[in-house]
Structure 1
Amino acid sequence: MSSGVWIAVIVAAAVIVVLVIAAVLGPRRRSRRLRRRFGPEYDRTVEAAPNRKDAEQELTDREKRHEELDLRDLSPEEKQRYDAAWTHIQEQFIDDPGGALDAADRLVTKAMTDRGYPNENYDQQVADLSVEHSRPLGRFRAAHEIAARAGHGEASTEDMRVAIVDYREVFAELVGVDHGDHHSTSHHQQ
């Protein structure tokens, strides 16, 4: 064989090796990126999907939808109003835990809407939040579930307290306020 043919064979073999490496490492790189971005939500989505590929496609679709949202930060005045509303909810909890929990649920939803998140339905809210707020998402789910049980009279005062703490974590991240020592409240970790 001529040296030109050998060079072509070597180049073709090198291209094949590069393509094989890309085919093997590409999905792993994608998985690592999605796992970093979504945290515990990545594992939850993989567990709920028929396979990893479908789960990762769902997460990628969430990212694409999220990019199309017109999200904004709240102004300092809005943050101050939200913080005052949250303080009122905490005070309300003493006399009316169920009412305070309902108000917390509504306030978190309003904060989401004011930031630009669509208010289509709960499942879509969770999917949209998962892209930027994946860390407190388990707490949001837990709080929402307790709020639903409380609406049927099936949650204890302690359950409602836990839900308020969970909502507070999501609220603080959404609104961009720091509740200082409130974060250290003894509570289960998600």
Structure 2
Amino acid sequence: MSILTTVLIIAAVLVVLLAAGVLLRARMGPSGGTRSLKRRFGPEYDRTLARHGGDGEAADRDLRERTERYGHLKPLPLEPAVREQYTAQWTTLQERFVDAPRQAVADAGALIGRVAATRGFPDADRPEEQLDALSVHHPRQVEGLRTARRGADSESASTEELREALVHARALFDHLTTAESATVATARPHGTSGHRRGHLLKPKGSGA
């Protein structure tokens, strides 16, 4: 084999590898690969993977599409008076939980939907779009809204299950109504706000 032939073969291999790398990056998209998506979305990644029956490629594609669609959304700030109004509404529905737990959870889901719309997310009358957008910016709390909606719709949910639904919903409510809630999830990926929680909404095992 001549030197020229060897060089041509090596060049052809390099071209193939380069093309494969470009294709892989294109498939990964701007959000990166599976590991990056797992870091960014946390429990939302696992939920999406389960929703797609364990199909990792489908889950990755789903989350990348959400990020492309809603990642550049800049949540609008809440005026202090509006924030106080929403907080007062939450306090009222929380107080009603003892007498009407299912209605309180339904009201919580509706209130979060209104707050999200006020912040610039899709309206609550487009529930799946709203959830998708919230999952990009609040991936560690968005399940709270799903839980509230499921609890309100379930006739068989126990009072304890409804209480847990309200606990999870409160975490998202707090994120949406605090000053830091405009920060995209990738910048502040951990933790939930614990402000203004009443005794009713203390998570199990809390020492507070």
Within 5 Å, which residues of 2 pair with 1:35-50? Answer: 35-49=38-52
Counterpart in the other structure of 1:186: 203
Contact 2:144 2:168 in 1 (8 A): yes
Please, which runs of 5 or more residues in structure 1 have no aligned partner? none
Query: What TM-score, normalized by structure 1, do the two folds share?
Result: 0.76
1:30-49: per-residue Cα shift (whole Å, max 9, x none)?
11121122112212222322
1:7-48: per-residue Cα shift (whole Å, max 9, x none)?
555454444445556667886851112112211221222232
Q: Matched residues in 1 for 2:49 and 2:153: separation?
A: 26
Contact 1:147 1:163 in 2 (8 A): no
Contact 1:70 1:116 in 2 (8 A): yes
- The alignment status of 1:108 with 2:112, answered yes or no, reads yes
Deviation at 1:2, TM superposition (A): 7.9
Please, which runs of 5 or more residues in structure 2 have no aligned partner? 180-192
More helix by share: 1
- The alignment status of 1:144 with 2:149, answered yes or no, reads yes
- The alignment status of 1:52 with 2:59, answered yes or no, reads no
Deviation at 1:181, TM superposition (A): 7.2
Q: More displaced, 132-141 or 162-171?
A: 132-141
Alignment CA distance shift 1:86-1:179 (3 Å): farther
Query: What TM-score, normalized by structure 2, do the two folds share?
Result: 0.71
Q: Matched residues in 1 for 2:23 and 2:89: separation?
A: 52
Within 5 Å, which residues of 2 pair with 1:49-128? Answer: 49=52, 51-67=55-71, 69=73, 71-119=75-123, 120-128=125-133
Counterpart in the other structure of 2:184: none
Within 5 Å, which residues of 2 pair with 1:13-24? Answer: 13-20=13-20
Alpha-carbon RMSD: 3.2
Alignment CA distance shift 1:23-1:67 (3 Å): closer
Aligned length: 185
